[in-house]
Amino acid sequence: MASFGTAPKAPGMGEDSRQPNETVSIRSEKVPSTKSPSLNNYESAAVTDREAEASLRLKIDLYILPTISLLYLFCFIDRANIGNARLAGIEKDLNMTGYDYNMVLSIFYISYIVFEMPATLLCKWMGPGWFLPLVTLGFGMASIFCSLTHTTAQISGVRFVLGIFEAGVMPGMAYYLSRWYRRAELVFRLSLYIVMAPLAGAFGGLLASGILKLHNFGMFESWRMIFAIEGIITVGLSLIAFVTLTDRPDTARWLTEVEKDLAISRVKSERISQTQVLDKMGKKKLILGIISPVTLVTSVIFLLDNITVQGLGFFLPTIVRTIYPQYTVIQQQLYTVPPYVVGAFFTVLLPLISWRLDNRQAVIISSVPLTMTGYIIFLATKNPQARFAATFLIASGIFAAGPLTNAQVSANVVTDTARSSAIGTNVMLGNVGGLISTWSFLPYDGPDYPIGNGLNLATTSLMFILATLLLVWMRADNRKRDSRDVEAELASLSANEIEDLDWKHPDFRWKP
């Protein structure tokens, strides 16, 4: 792991929204801070000095992304390892019958969805430097407790608690990174931790295979070892994160004062009429983040995508078992790895393309046909080799929607508060898709699962349609905004009222 500087947390575990080195950036105007006369120059440098900006960006990457990525890797492993435990006999040992397994999966998403938005707002109030390590400690402990369960009711209860702790992880991390990166840069950085979702499928399968080769781990045997060992690793990572994560640029000891100024001005330069990077939470800003047309439609797209993402995580081991029933459990675990590796590659490649193009919507649209093709193959043939090949196409198209949609809702609001609620909404609706996925592959539908595969083909097709229509609408609405009289609309408003306009500001343009 990279070397990290220790960063102080905000006093009292809350966040001070006041920034020490601020400028007002409204279009081309630069109003220098009274505290730091040099910041005006560095706000200009944020746009003109590409070398200094690239150096700062790399430094931020090296200090933040390794910790974030490892936390999310084990967040996804601790969520999806029940699929590996299923192959290792958890259903038999806990006397699961009928739809018990699907119920255990669903109970996780109930708490996940209910606590999604409260957790995201708590992350802003508390500060990510405290919030993310705390919730990681919580879901690591929940994974350990899964290994101690002996009935379906017990593991359902623990999985409910697991959902509470994991609820704020994905939106919290996306919101956290939005404090550090420009709009175009953000999508690629989101991909560098969200790529841990497919890698968790690959690494989780390998780790589960290695764990199952052990005779026992203390008092634990078989599938119990999977939960216990992976939970202990997660707890260890959470303790490291308490030291390595810092809330925001101005509290980072590993940045010089000049670098802090540049980091703050980079982010602020893209926010219309904002006098501070981290504003105080307000009801109006929260609502604007939620009701933004881009937030709402993109969140539905993520909901549809997550039906496939989470379904693949939970049921790929089961699908592999139906394709290769003659193989041993360990061999079946290993066969779940290659599709995730390919999916991980595309999870980084597509956001990288998006970063270079500074366009997220077109990349979302172009990625969906890969997944659609995979499900067409599943429905069209029972050939094991063809169906296994189809899992590679599915994995190639679905995982990149995580960073792309979160970056899209983040790019299309202005204030920090609206950004937190927009990301929270996107992930909350996304996890409604996760809840649906737990019922997409039912026992009576096996071994070919035509209903489950047909559902996923339908949802990915609808994704394609909605994403295309949203792009058309964004461009049309931007043309309408070009004809508005900005000065006349703002003339009667105070500075605070102008700040609160967010995406309703007449000078704001949707960013595809």
392 by Cβ neighbours in 10 Å (0-12 / 13-18 / 19+) ranks as middle
Report the percent of the chain where pLDDT is more than 90. 32
Angle, CA of 119, 428 and 238, to the nearest 5°: 45
Which has the higher per-residue pLDDT, 472 or 316? 472
User: Per-residue pLDDT for 364 more than 90?
Assistant: yes
pLDDT at 92 over 70: yes
pLDDT band per the 50, 70, 90 thresholds, residue 281: low
At residue 192, does pLDDT exceed 90? no
pLDDT-derived band at 319, boundaries 50, 70, 90: confident
Q: Can you tell me the distance from the alpha carbon of 166 to that of 184, in angstroms, rounded to the nearest whole number?
A: 27
Whole-number pLDDT of residue 62: 92
| pLDDT tens per residue across span 3-27 | 433 344 443 344 443 333 333 333 3
- Determine the average pLDDT of the residues in 336-355: 89
- What one-character-per-residue DSSP string does 174-235 give? HHHHHTTS-HHHHHHHHHHHHTHHHHHHHHHHHHHHHHHTSS-BTTB-THHHHHHHHHHHHH
Lowest mean pLDDT among 88-92, 276-280, 447-451: 276-280
Residue 95 has pLDDT above 50, yes or no: yes
For tokens 């990077």, the residue is 277
CB-based burial label for 219 (10 Å; 0-12, 13-18, 19+):
exposed
The confidence band for 301, taking pLDDT boundaries of 50, 70 and 90, is: very high
As a dihedral over the C-alpha atoms of residue 118, residue 123, residue 125, residue 130, rounded to 10 degrees, the angle is 140
Q: What is d(CA 173, CA 65) in angstroms, rounded to the nearest whole number?
A: 10
Q: What is the mean pLDDT of residues 189-194?
A: 87
Of 406, 401, 345, 451, nearest to 176 by C-alpha is 406
- Which amino acid, 444? Y
270 falls in which pLDDT band (50, 70, 90)? Answer: low
Question: pLDDT category, 314, cuts 50, 70, 90?
Answer: low
- Reading the block at residue 294, the tokens are 């881009």
Say how far apart CA 267 and CA 442 lie, in whole Å. Answer: 47
- CA 237 centroid distance within chain: 18
Pairwise CA distance, residues 351 & 359, whole Å: 9
Q: What is the pLDDT of residue 160?
A: 95
Write the DSSP string, 380-405. Answer: H---HHHHHHHHHHHHHHHTTHHHHH
Tell me what pLDDT residue 43 has: 39
**What's the pLDDT score for residue 405?**
94
State the average pLDDT over residues 352-381: 92
CA distance 92 to 210: 21
pTM for the structure as a whole: 0.74
pLDDT confidence of 39, banded at 50, 70, 90?
very low
Structure tokens at 191: 């991909």
Residues 32-45: what's their mean pLDDT?
37
Q: What's the chain's average pLDDT?
A: 82
Asked if the model's pLDDT at residue 29 lies above 60, the reply is no
pLDDT of residue 144: 94
The domains of the chain, with CATH numbers, are: 11-15+48-504 (1.20.1250.20)
| Residue 459: pLDDT band with limits 50, 70, 90 | very high
CB 191 within 8 A of CB 348: yes
pLDDT value for 496: 76
Average pLDDT over residues 398-411: 90
Whether the pLDDT of residue 312 is over 80: the answer is no
Window from 198-202, 284-288, 355-359, 449-453 with minimum mean pLDDT: 198-202
